[in-house]
Amino acid sequence: MKYRQGVFFVVYFKKNEKIKYLILKRNLHWKGWEFPKGGFEKGEKILDVVKRELKEETGLDALNIKKFNFSGKYKYEKKYADRKGLLGQTFEALYAIEVKKAKVVLDKKEHSEFAWKKFNRAFKKLTWKNQKKCLKIIDGWLNNIGDKRSFARFLR
């Protein structure tokens, strides 16, 4: 059994110095709130995956993309028919994607709702710890959280 290789990304927009994050309500495999994410197709490079998955899951186009050296993996809660032989998913890096706030067009097969939320509300809605940590990393970067020691405390 192996892990599916994937990408994690946090989508945001800025308006008048305020930042809002896009969260999606999952309805395929499990129920809850998450960020967009996705897996590789044969021969794809990582930035191609990020752009494709952003477009497929939200209908949005990236203005700016920033890579963060944060990786991880998670196990699926159960076996899924469309994920035969897979224990879970890995992500080799985290990406922040800035977009213009635009109409989100969901892939209704995977997600039933979306919301643009400020940090605290997005953080409370997210289902998984690894996604909450991803949000902290991106929000810390966007808000220029001080030195490395204070940033490390912020991540706890």
Contact 37, 8 (CB under 8 A): yes
pLDDT for 35: 87
Q: Please, how many CA atoms are within 13 Å of residue 96, restricted to the half-sphere of its CB?
A: 21
**Which contiguous run of DSSP H or E holds residue 120?**
helix 119-125
CA-to-CA distance for 53 and 37, rounded, in angstroms?
A: 7
- Please state, in angstroms and rounded to a whole number, the distance separating the CA atoms of residues 43 and 53: 15
Query: Is residue 11 a contact partner of residue 58, using CB atoms and an 8 Å limit?
Result: yes
What's the pLDDT score for residue 153? Answer: 45
Cβ neighbourhood burial of 154 (10 Å; 0-12, 13-18, 19+): middle
User: What pLDDT is stored for residue 120 in this prediction?
Assistant: 95
Question: What pLDDT score does 83 carry?
Answer: 60
Mean pLDDT score, 82-110: 78
Domains of the chain plus CATH, in order, are 2-155 (3.90.79.10)
The pLDDT assigned to 39 comes to: 75
124-142: average pLDDT? 90
- Say how far apart CA 60 and CA 38 lie, in whole Å: 15
Q: Which two tokens stand for residue 24?
A: 């999606």
Cβ atoms within 10 Å of 149's Cβ, excluding its own? 8
Any idea which of 20-24, 60-64, 68-72, 124-128 has the lowest mean pLDDT? 68-72
Mean pLDDT of 13-20: 90
The pLDDT of residue 88 is above 70: no
What's the confidence (pLDDT) of residue 154?
45
Structure tokens at 109: 């097969």
